Amino acid sequence: MNKIVLDPGHGGDDNGASYGFTDEDDTALSICFLLRCELEKDGYEVHLTREKDIYVSLPLRCKIANDLKADLFISVHCDAWHVETVSGISTHVYEGGSKASFNLAESIQKTLLENFPDHLNRGVKKARFYVLRKTNMPAVLIECEFISNPVNRAFLKEPENQLALAKTIKEGIKGGVV
């Protein structure tokens, strides 16, 4: 278990959620760059589905991971809702996914909440996201916080918080790989 594909959500013309001059795609890419560095320090081989602000289709993201025969697929996002007080961290797994995917999601979610105890635990959620359904390896999608919430957005914009998220996700990955 040492080849990981990181998938920074959205990109290019698809900014994802955009609030307060902050775009989800840029935030996810920053977190993934930092996460790649953290994982490489521990000897993992890491690939990104995109390394700049470009659009990469969902099928191509899955093809990249599947063609590389990755051991894990980690998609990083920021959540959003039309009510700006909504907050929290969640980790998503395909509803028909493997036990390894569920273990990985639980480990990441647990580690995120241990390291960010003042953030709301939105839990591990079953989902039918394309990138979770169409990848051939254990896969999770992490919603790092709500970019639509001004307090959470300020948290997500800070480079030291992005690094802390990256380090925490790495520990969750390591704890979830049995």
Q: What is the CATH number of the domain that holds 91?
A: 3.40.630.40
Residues with Cβ within 8 Å of residue 172, at least 6 apart in sequence: 104, 107, 108, 109, 110, 111, 112
Residue 88 and residue 151 in contact, taking contact as beta carbons nearer than 8 Å: no
DSSP strands (E only) in 18-71: 18-19, 22-23, 45-48
Distance CA 118, CA 116 (A): 6
Helix axes 24-41, 159-176, angle to 10 degrees: 60
One pLDDT digit (tens) per residue for the chain, 178 residues = 699 999 999 999 999 999 999 999 999 999 999 999 999 999 999 999 999 999 999 999 999 999 999 999 999 999 999 999 999 999 999 999 999 999 999 999 999 999 999 999 999 999 999 999 999 999 999 999 999 999 999 999 999 999 999 999 999 999 987 5
> What is the span of the domain harbouring residue 157?
3-176
Q: Per the confidence metrics, is the pTM higher than 0.85?
A: yes
Going 161 to 166 to 171 to 172, the CA torsion angle's sign is positive
Domains of the chain: total: 1
